[in-house]
Structure formats: structure tokens, C-alpha cells
Amino acid sequence: MSHLRAEIAETLDEAEWEWLIPHVQRDVVVVVAENLDLVDVGVALATDNVSSIQHWISEQLIGKPTFAQLQVWNNDRTKRFKAAIVQPYVLIQEFSL
């Protein structure tokens, strides 16, 4: 598992909203709440940890971008996110202020 964690951590980077739009159009972007660790969520997805994933979804801590979020982000295409790739998904997280 530590190898998988390291692999996902290696994909961790910043991404501008403009770069993420094609992935949103393919419906593979998952928004992760700021209080969750992006790598932890990636590991849970990659290992099919259903209980964690279901819990986060039910608590609205992970999910597809909402219409309201898309509207805001489309108005600022240079907005930056933390991002990680866990095939076929792209996990994104807004930066904390």
C-alpha cells in the first residue's frame, strides 16, 4: 500500500481550471473537500475502499463538481487546484486560504 500511496503522491500537482475542463467534459473529475487528504482519497479509490468512499459521498466530502461550482470556476479559468490522478479519475481540491 505504501507503494501505491507513493505513486499517487507523485501525481500530486497544481492545475489551472482551464486544464481540467476536458476532464470535466469526460465526467472524470472528483472534487475533494479541503479537510480531506487528496492522497488518502486517491488510495481509497484505487483500492476500492467502498466504506470510506460511501462515507465521504454521504457526507458530501467528495463528489462531482456541482453546477454552481462549474459556473464560478468557468468565470475564473486561471483558478488553481491541487490535483491528483487516479485512473480514470482526476481528483481536485480547492486551495485553502
Residue-by-residue DSSP string for 24-69: HHTT-EEEE-TTS-HHHHHHHHHTT-HHHHHHHHHTTSEESPPHHH
Which residues have C-beta within 8 Å of that of residue 2, sequence separation ≥ 6? Answer: none
Strand partners, 14: 82
Per-residue pLDDT at 91 exceeds 80: yes
The count of structural domains within the chain is: 1
**Given this model, what pLDDT does residue 1 score?**
66
Per-residue pLDDT at 2 exceeds 90: no
Q: What are phi and psi of 26, to 5 degrees?
A: -85, 0
**Given this model, what pLDDT does residue 62 score?**
98
Region 70-92: mean pLDDT is 94
**Given this model, what pLDDT does residue 67 score?**
96
16 is in which domain, residue-wise?
A: 2-94
**Given this model, what pLDDT does residue 80 score?**
95
DSSP structural state of residue 36: S
